[in-house]
Amino acid sequence: MTPLSGEPLDRKLQELLSEDVGSGDVTTAWTVAQEKSARGRLIARSACVVSGLPVARRTFEMLDPDLAWEEDAFAGASVAPETTLAMLSGRARSLLTAERLALNLLQRMCGIATATRRYVEAVAGTRCRILDTRKTAPGLRAFDRMAVADGGGCNHRDGLFDMVLVKDNHFRLGGGIAAAVAAARRQSPPGMPIEVEVESEEDLRQALQARVERILIDNQTPETVARWSRIARRSENPPLLEASGAITLDRVRAYALAGADAVSVGALTHSVMAADVALELEPDD
C-alpha cells in the first residue's frame, strides 16, 4: 500500500472532514468574522516520535489553499514536551474548522510512532524486525502504517489481497496445512509469499514440509519459539520466522533472542495511546 498522498489523500481527508463538518461549523461561523486571519503553532505537549505532519498540513490546506506552513520537526524525530512541531497561518475560520481532524490524525500517528519506537529500541542489536498487523482503525490503515514506518517499524501485508497467510481457521476449513498451501500455491501469482500460522510442533513440521516462505509462530513462549526456531533452521530452505500473540514491550526482546526474525504487534495500532499535541491560535492582525 503506497502511503497516502496527492489525490487519494485528498479524497480520504474530504471524507473525514465531511464526517466532522457536516452542513457547517456553526460555532466558528457564528463567532468568528469571515475576514479574520490567525496564526498558530502545533505543540507536542508530551514527549513523542513525530509522525503525520504532512497529513495535518494537507488537512488545513483542504480548507485554506493559501495556508502558510513552516515545519519545525521531521518524521521519525524524538521530541521533548513543549516542542513546536510547525508554525501556520491562514484564514481563522478554516484553521478552526480543520483543527480537530488535523489533531486527531496527528495525535494518533505520533502515538503509534512513539509506541513502535519503544519496541524497535527493545530489540536493538538483534536481527528482529517489528511489524504491524491488520488490527488498524477502520478507514485509517494507511495513516497507521505510515506512523509505524516513521517509528522505525516495518509494514506487514497491506491487506487480504497481497499475501497469503494461512491461519488456523483456513487450514481447518481447507483440509489441513498441506492442502491449503497447495491450493494457494496453484492460484497465487509468481512471487507472492505464502505464510502459515502454527500453534503446535506438528503444525510447524507440516508447514516446513510444504516449503512455505514464512511461518508465523502464534501464542507461544520464548522457550518454545527458540526450540521451534532450531527445528526450522535445520530445514533445507529455512523460512522467515515471525512471532505474534500478545507480545508486550517487556517480553519482546526475549522473542528476538529466541530466534524470531520478526515480531508482529497488534497493540501498535489497536491500542494506541494518542500523543498530546495541541494547536495554539491567536489573531494575525
Of 64, 150, 197, 242, which residue is the catalytic one? 197
Of 167, 185, 205, 227, which residue is the catalytic one? 167
- Concerning whether 100 is annotated as a catalytic residue, the answer is yes
CA distance 105 to 210: 42
- Concerning whether 135 is annotated as a catalytic residue, the answer is yes
Residues 6+ apart with CB under 8 A from 143: 4, 52, 55, 105, 108, 109
The grid cell for 255 is 522473542
- Concerning whether 251 is annotated as a catalytic residue, the answer is no
**Rounded to the nearest 5°, which phi and psi values hold at 217?**
-90, 110
CA distance 172 to 142: 31
Asked if residues 90 and 37 have their Cβ atoms less than 8 Å apart, the reply is yes
Of 36, 118, 135, 185, which residue is the catalytic one? 135
Of 100, 118, 134, 205, which residue is the catalytic one? 100
Of 213, 218, 276, 284, which residue is the catalytic one? 218
- Concerning whether 36 is annotated as a catalytic residue, the answer is no
- Concerning whether 12 is annotated as a catalytic residue, the answer is no
The residues assigned a catalytic role are 100, 135, 167, 197, 218
